Amino acid sequence: MAELAVKLPGMELKNPLIPASGTFGYGMDHLDFFDVNECGSFSMKGTTLEPREGNALPRIAECAGGMLNAVGLQNPGAREVIESVFPELRKIYRGKIFANVSGFSVEEYAECARLLAAEDIVGAIELNISCPNVHGGGMSFGTDPKTAAEVLRAVKKTSDKPVYVKCTPQCPDLPAMCEALEEAGADGLVLLNTFLGMRLDYRTGKPVLANVTGGVSGPGIFPLALQRIYQISPRVSIPIIGCGGVCSGRDVIEMMSAGASAVEIGTSNLIDPMSVPRIKNELEAALEELGIDDINEIIGRAFK
């Protein structure tokens, strides 16, 4: 059986499978289905400094090849997560997690990151400058390299823990953004968050989502995410965590072949709560079929 362990700055994962933020709650939503310690790690629900109720309903819509969401970062706030959520999580999870941090100002990002990074269960910060479903925050920080670098530098000052930046495909020059983030001190990149989209009710002609637009995710965006990982991987020297439409073990192999060192699994968790153990089994079977003894052998093999 192939070795699945991978190393990332600040994190040693038993396998490269990381449930994506917003699809796995705070790690306890899937306890009725499988032991969450089977995950390499997971990225917790996007968290802001203060509590947020999120966007108005409806905020979920189906589409061919996936779904749209406009949840709007509903969360109890960083202090409540630290005081109430993490003590319960420590009872069932033995690993380190990615703390997904979002905000509406540079100062808010920095303070939220400072609070969460101080917790022993947090192995790294996932800096979310890419959420398309909030106004005045999230993605608005992720489309301009100078602004993104400013947020990153402020967050880096709050802790010694690694910071991975989750990027938006809405950025007009994503390769330049990723290069700027590496120069500003990013320890890794998460490529990508959701694509901006919308649906209209054919009967009324009005937007289905109360927020009008939402983030498109699911298997339909996999080729788009894969292309961007392939495009950016040769241009940066920091690790990439691939994200976008991963639904199978073969998808994992494709993303890692394009240059990803680990892979986040998102919408698939919402469709099939057993996605992580299923994909892990598929991954092991595919590597055995290919005669690969160590999964690290396939990272970036598209360029070898």
Distance CA 279, CA 155 (A): 33
Which of 120, 118, 20 minimizes the C-alpha distance to 69?
A: 20
Q: Which residue has the tokens 């109720």?
A: 53
Helices (H), 164-221: 174-183
What values do phi and psi take at 14, rounded to 5?
A: -70, -20
Which of 129, 100, 101, 135 minimizes the C-alpha distance to 213?
A: 135
* Beta-carbon contacts of residue 277 (< 8 Å; ≥ 6 apart): 34, 38
Distance CA 34, CA 54 (A): 28
Distance CA 201, CA 75 (A): 29
SS3 12: strand
What residues does 99 pair with on adjacent strands?
Answer: 125
AA letter at 105: S
What values do phi and psi take at 18, rounded to 5?
A: -130, 110
Distance CA 4, CA 295 (A): 5
Supply the residues annotated as catalytic: 131
What values do phi and psi take at 301, rounded to 5?
A: -70, -15
